[in-house]
Chains A and B, each alone.
Chain A
Amino acid sequence: QSALTQPASVSGSPGQSITISCTGTSSDVGNYNLVSWYQQHPAKAPKLIIFETTKRPSGVSYRFSGSKSGNTASLTISGLQAEDEADYFCCSYAGSSKLVFGGGTKLTVL
């Protein structure tokens, strides 16, 4: 399985909105509404923030939202806060009980 493609970095000022893209293929992102997103702070384990492409787990801020168009999924963070500065990874189901992650995007809050 090939890794999903994410931008290496994005940045935004407090209060702004940013979007992180995650591009796969018709065998993974494009074929299933099973994209998940994870937030990872330094030296911590990843934390699930979006599952099944658009759903938020209990306790995750409404400022995080997910969407998909074709083979590209997106994570939008609105009302940026300093605590949102972290690495973000996407993941997609790829069929046959296999999953593939993206390389990650470093979010800097200016």
Chain B
Amino acid sequence: EVQLLESGGDLRQPGGSLRLACAASGFPFSSYAMSWVRQAPGKGPEWVSSISDRGSSTFYADSVKGRFTISRDNSKNTLYLQMSSLRAEDTAMYYCTKADASIIVDAFPIWGQGTRVTVSS
């Protein structure tokens, strides 16, 4: 069974940093692109970032570019999101998602249960 388990969500002050992790199991992790999608309370989801199967290609939404870094460790079957210069508008549930392709993500077939990030002073 495919499983994605996020961790690392917490409360941070504006300007702070946080690293999210997503432990994957039940599929060949190194063969699939992965993404982070966030959802602010009462809002629709927002695509944040994607990374190709080997980690050589990364893509970011304009709202996080230059502040967030996506990475993966295929030896540990783990996806990461390093978040810095956090803003109040980054407050959301952050979901780890698995694509059905190795490089280009065009949908989000599998989702984790999410980890909550709150940015507030």
Q: Are A100 and B47 in contact (CB under 8 A)?
A: yes
A97-B50, A100-B47, A103-B43 are known contacts. Are A34 and B62 too (CB-CB below 8 A)?
A: no
Residues of B within 8 A of A52 (CB): 106-107
**Per DSSP, are chain B's interface residues mostly helix, strand or loop, or mixed?**
loop
Q: Are B59 and A91 in contact (CB under 8 A)?
A: no
Q: How far is the CA of A51 from the CA of B107 in the complex (A)?
A: 7
How many B residues have CB within 8 A of the partner chain? 23
Chain A 55-110 residues near chain B, CB threshold 8 A: 57, 89, 91, 93, 96-104
Residues of B within 8 A of A45 (CB): 95, 111-114
The CB with the most chain B CB atoms within 10 A, among A32, A38, A46, A104, is that of: A46
Q: Are B44 and A98 in contact (CB under 8 A)?
A: no
B2 beta carbon closer than 8 Å to chain A: no
- Sample of 7 further A-B pairs with CB below 8 A, known A6-B44, A104-B43: A34-B107, A48-B108, A51-B106, A97-B57, A97-B104, A98-B59, A102-B44
Residue numbers of A with Cβ under 8 A of B are 1, 3, 6, 32, 34, 36, 38, 45-48, 51-52, 57, 89, 91, 93, 96-104
A-B contact pairs, 21 of them (CB 8 A): A1-B61, A32-B106, A34-B107, A36-B107, A45-B111, A46-B108, A46-B111, A48-B109, A48-B110, A51-B106, A51-B107, A52-B106, A89-B44, A91-B47, A99-B105, A99-B106, A100-B47, A101-B44, A101-B45, A101-B46, A104-B43
